[in-house]
Structure 1
Amino acid sequence: MPINTRNIILEKSLSFALSIINFCEELEQHKKFVISHQLLKSGTSIGANINEAQNSESRVDFIHKFKIAAKEAEETKYWLLLCQKAPSYPYEEQLLHDLSDILRLINSIINSAKKSVQS
C-alpha cells in the first residue's frame, strides 16, 4: 500500500495563492492598485516560503522559513481586513477563512518542529 504523500499545507497555500491572484485582479478592475500589489506580494509569498522550507538545510532553517510564511500570512490578513472594512473595496470572506486555516497549520508545524529540535 503506498504511503500517503499529500502535503496539505502545500496544497492549501497554493490554492490560496491562486485565490489571491484572482482577488487582486478584481481589486485592479476597481482601480485599487496599491492594496492589490501589496496583497499579491504577501498572499503569494506564504506558499513560496512554505515551498522553500521543503528543501531547508536544517530543522532550524525549516522553522525559520515557516516563521517567514507566518509573518507573510499576518500581513495578508491585514490587507484583507482593510478590504473588509473599507466600503469602496471588494471583499471575499472566504479568503480570511482560508487564511485562518493556513495560519493554524503553519503555527502547528512550527510548534511541532520546535519540539523536535528541543528533544
Structure 2
Amino acid sequence: MKKFVRSRQLLKSGTSIGANVHKAQNAESKADFIHKIKIATKELEETKYWLILCEKSNSYPTHKNLSSKVNELGLILYKILSTSVKFRKEN
C-alpha cells in the first residue's frame, strides 16, 4: 500500500493543476482569476516534487518527457500569473 502513496499524490497534484486552470477560466473577478492561477502553480510545484521523488526511486518508472512538460507548463502559468498581476496593478 505504501508504494502507491507517491503515485497517488502525483496524480492528485497533477490533475489539480488542470482543474484550477479550468476554474480560473470562469473566475468571478481578476482577483479570483489570479488566486486560482496561484493555486494551480502551487499544485505544479507539488507535482514537480513528486516527480523528483519518483525519479530518485528505483521502484517507480520515470518518464523524462513528463518532467519537461511540467516545466513547460510552469513557464506558461508563471507568465500568465505575472501578466495578470501586472495588468491588475495598471488598472
Q: TM-score over 0.5 for the alignment?
A: yes
Secondary structure at 2:31 match in 1: helix
Q: Distance in 1 between matches of 2:73 and 2:3?
A: 25
1:43 partnered with 2:41: no
Q: Distance in 2 between matches of 1:73 and 1:108?
A: 14
Q: Which residue does 1:71 correspond to in 2?
A: 42
Q: Which residue does 1:15 correspond to in 2?
A: none
Q: Distance in 2 between matches of 1:60 and 1:46?
A: 18
Runs of 5+ consecutive residues of structure 1 not aligned to the other structure: 1-30
Query: Which runs of structure 1 show a deviation greater than 3 angstroms over 4 or more consecutive aligned residues?
Result: none
Select which of 41, 61, 70 maps to 1:99. Answer: 70
Q: Which residue does 1:87 correspond to in 2?
A: 58
Aligned residues: 89
Root-mean-square deviation (CA, aligned residues, Å) is 1.1
Cα deviation 1:40-63 (Å, max 9, x = unaligned): 100000000000000001111101
Deviation at 1:67, TM superposition (A): 0.4
Q: What TM-score do the two structures reach when normalised by structure 2?
A: 0.93
